[in-house]
Chains A and B, each alone.
Chain A
Amino acid sequence: MSQLDLRELNSTEFPIPDEMQGNVAITSLSKIYNWSRRSSMWPLLFGLACCAIEMIATAASRYDLSRFGMEVMRASPRQSDLMIVSGTVTKKMVVPIVRLYNQMPEPKYVLAMGACASGGGPFKEGYNVVSGIDQYLPVDVYVPGCPPTPQALLFGLIALQKKIDGQSLANLDDVPWYGVGPSEPTPIPILGPDIIDPRQMDLIRRQAELAAAGKPYGIREIPAPVQKQEAPQVEAKTKAASEGSEDEAKAERMRKREEALARKKARQGS
């Protein structure tokens, strides 16, 4: 038998010896990774509100989450792959949630279960309610409902599995955790006079300066809602407004481009 050139193995043309035909399957690395990840998705044992009850019902005997390899709910974020945000996220609770998310090892996924976790739900207007966990964490799957039935949650989990199936190791946007080093942790919000997202510090500072100068602050000036009965007038107005905004957008693009050019120049100079 001639010496096997290992490089030949890299070729898909490589013939599989007869005695190994039944024992070897050839597939792509992405598929193997995805298959193992999606078949043992361990959720974090973690309930926030009403939805948690339906989550437990989903795990119980009638709906039986273990059919999908997901019944192993871990209480420790270190051992879990999936965070099911099952309920209303309050400002007080988002601090531990972000901390838990940071403690989960990659690859990690987030499923927003129910109306509250997706966008604030019926309690959105409340002073202590976060309008959806996606303001702080990247969400992979949203499951609507208040609360979603176990069937809906299962559907959402299967949707997540499909999403994982479509991920490719070649695309680091899909799977950033196979890049160099771990991802940046999400900055943990601060409970000040109201909740503070550290990523918005500059914005808050600018608004505080406005406030100190006695100007209106904290509110975005936008045109009053369009009234139905004024339909003809409004058409003209909105057209004018959209033209105006188009001009502004163009100016903004030009400005950004100039800035980028200036930066490039500066880099070359140094």
Chain B
Amino acid sequence: MTDYPIVEATDIPAAITALKQHYPDAVKEDTRQGYSGVVVDRKRLVEIAKFIRDDLGFDYLSSATAVDYYGIADEMEMVYHAYRTAGGPALVFKAQTPRDNPEIPSLVEIWPGADFQEREAWDLYGIRFPGHPNLKRILLWEGFHGHPMRKDWHEAYYEQDHKPFDSRWPAGHVRRAEELNVYGKNVRYPADIDLSKLSDRSEEALYSDLGLGVSIQELEGDASLKTDRLVVNMGPHHPSTHGVFRMIITLNGETIESLEPVMGYLHRNHEKIGERNTFLHNMPFTDRLDYISSMSNNLGYALAVEQLLAKGARYQPPTYRAEVIRVLMVELTRIVNHYWAIGFLLNDLGAFFTPALYAIAEREKILDFFEATAGSRMMCNYMRFGGVFKDIPERIRSVANLVNDRVRDFNTMEYLTELINERIPRSIDELDEFLTESEIVKSRSIGVGYLPPEMAIAYSAAGPLLRASGVPYDVRRAEPYSIYPELDFDIAVRTHGDIYDRYLIRLDEMRESVRILKQILPRLERTRGEPIFAGSKQHTPRVPLGEAYGRVENPKGELGFYIVSAGDEKGPQNPWRYHVRAPSFINLTALGQMCIGHKVADVVAILGSIDIVLGETDR
């Protein structure tokens, strides 16, 4: 076993000093209790961001999100987390703007990856970004009343700012929210609704700037041939969009000129609800982000809250056995996800369902283990702040899944050993054997959807998408968490940046996961009987003031949780800000660029190779 050197905290204080030296008037340190990083004068934000990227080398903008400090500071704030692709912790910088006329310059020209995130901030917070090329609503529709994530905006079923609601606890009287609403529905209309002028503006707004039916373009070199642009709408109901995703594709002949992703069809207000829940309440909600890999979502959220808890006095880090089980679960999840991703990529390439059936057959075995341990196949709700909620069981008994009318009963360790040493490697080899050299797979995917490395970084791409473009960036190594530093594994990297490499890198990653799991098994044996939870179990952990950004390498890319705790230790314990940096959402920023010049059939494959899940994209 090799002990890998952890990339040291790469002189964040030095970077902050350099910033302050260069911009003495415009940069000051964030001195609020529990906060870190710098606050930047918003008028000079673009200039300073350029300095941070070019001179300080923080070339990767991981997350950009808004916070509404209504009632605390009467300000809104954009928080940016920039990293170096060489590894190390984040440089956090913020820009503040008054609430009544919020305006912050756009950073799209510095980091194109800020595109969707700024649109989201406009949609949900109403912050305008001068310089943004396409500042439209992204999750809701044009014409929606208000900006719902603002703290003073209340929805139709609003009861109270924080849970548990007084009406439910301790009195325990439950009333259905519909009963209080005249319409019996989850709707609320502004007082000045004008029903005479009512029309659905949302569709019109999508197509308005495409210039339809106006320009007839001449193909280059052949003046006699005239061609009209054609707009094709794909989704939200389409078998190949992996859910309710929608694209508006402008074609010239058969070639794609531009592609605009339209999302929000599964926007279920994860963050608004999350800011009302207590910290622990949010754990089951994270399951439903990337619903194929709920265990890793749990871990990301647990890490973020543990970061905050660590600022308190009585914090105890998770026990060793808890960390071992966490890594076991997370790596099994990665395998599950990649089975799914490969199976459905092949679906998108036209091999309808046969490869997918093969790919997800072994997934059921892993889900049986999850079910036996956490109680649910998919929505595991398994991690807690300080450990996991239950040890893995001695035996796996599956009463519901009978085989020849017999209850299946296995010793868990034997089951896992067989799974990890035999079944999973065998099925990975099987996929490899049938697919990798397939003539059709190769001709459909090699050289299609190329994403050059510098563009992948600029677009904040993450996970397999980034690494298939030749950037060896993996949070497990770049900013290690849990027990990854003591585990022996390699970061899978491929260099061609096309669909084929994104397929291959998933096979590589599954094999690396098996390698990790083989090291986990003896650790599981060794720590048998040790505690799985540090400290005492609490329903509402007391979370100190401050901010935290916890991130993990999810199967789909970097999943980050930005959490602000503003309540004191005695008040309601719910996050003031709860933001999810969703890899599926941000990876889509580059989709339009990757598709230009290809055909419609390729779009489906390129989208499949990014591997998105709409629960996470739309949140």
Contact of A226 among B173, B284, B378 (CB under 8 A): B173
**A92 and B177: CB pair below 8 A?**
no
Choose among A50, A217, A227 the residue that contacts B615 (Cβ–Cβ < 8 A): A50
A151 to B400, Cβ gap below 8 A? yes
Q: Is the CB of B182 within 8 A of A75?
A: no
- Asked if A212 and B191 make an inter-chain contact with CB atoms under 8 angstroms apart, the answer reads yes
A100 within 8 Å of B (CB atoms): yes
| Interface members, chain B 57-111 (any A CB < 8 Å) | none
What chain B residues lie within 8 Å of A61 (beta carbons)? 357, 361
Question: Are B377 and A149 closer than 8 Å at their CB atoms?
Answer: yes
**CB of A120 closer than 8 Å to a CB of B:** yes
Interface string of A228-241 (1 = CB under 8 A from B): 10000000000000
Chain B interface helix/strand/loop/mixed? loop
C-alpha spacing A202/B139, complex, angstroms: 29
Asked if B581 is at the interface of the complex by the 8 Å CB criterion, the answer is no
**Cβ of A177 < 8 Å from any Cβ of B?**
no
Q: Interface digits, B235-276 against A, CB 8 Å rule (1 contact, 0 not)? A: 011110001100000000000000000001111111011001
B144 in the interface (beta carbon within 8 A): yes
The A-contacting residues of B in range 354-412, CB under 8 angstroms, are 356-357, 360-361, 364, 377-379, 400-401
Let me know if B227 is at the binding interface, CB within 8 A.
no
Among B35-43, B285-293, B496-504, B592-600, the stretch that binds chain A is B285-293
Contacting residues, chain A, for B139 (C-beta < 8 A): 128
A90 CA to B246 CA, complexed, in Å: 15
Does A37 sit within 8 A of B, measured CB to CB? Answer: no
Contacts of A203 in B (CB 8 A): 182-183
- CA of A50 to CA of B183 in the docked complex: distance in angstroms? 28
Q: Is the CB of B189 within 8 A of A93?
A: no
Instruction: Say yes or no: B186 contacts A192, CB within 8 Å.
Output: no
> A168-199, CB under 8 A of B: which get 1 and which 0?
00000000000000000000001111111100
Question: Does the CB pair B181–A197 fall under 8 Å?
Answer: no
Interface centre among B158, B191, B270 (most CB of A within 10 A): B191
With contacts A49-B266, A129-B269 taken as known, whether A225 is within 8 angstroms of B175 at the C-beta atoms is yes
Residues of chain B with a CB closer than 8 A to A211's CB = 191-192
Please indicate the chain B residues that have their CB under 8 angstroms from the CB of A62 in the complex: 361, 364, 401
Closest partner residue, chain A, to B163 (CB atom): A125
Q: Which partner residue on chain B sits nearest A228 by CB separation?
A: B171
Asked if A190 and B188 sit within 8 Å, CB to CB, the answer is: no
A86-102: which have CB < 8 Å to B? 87-88, 90-93, 96, 100
A196 touches B171 (CB 8 A): no
Interface status of A127 (Cβ within 8 A of chain B) = yes
Tell me if B244 and A93 are in contact (CB < 8 A). Answer: yes
Where the two chains meet, the residues of A that have a C-beta atom closer than 8 Å to any C-beta of B are 45-50, 52-54, 56-57, 60-62, 75, 87-88, 90-93, 96, 100, 116, 120, 122-131, 135, 146-147, 149, 151, 190-197, 200-201, 203-205, 207-208, 211-212, 217-220, 222, 225-228
Known: A50-B615, A129-B186, A208-B189. 7 other contacts (CB 8 A): A48-B244, A50-B378, A56-B360, A100-B237, A125-B177, A190-B199, A197-B183
Sample of 13 A–B contacts (CB below 8 Å): A50-B378, A90-B265, A92-B140, A93-B244, A123-B268, A127-B186, A190-B198, A193-B143, A193-B189, A194-B188, A218-B181, A218-B182, A225-B167
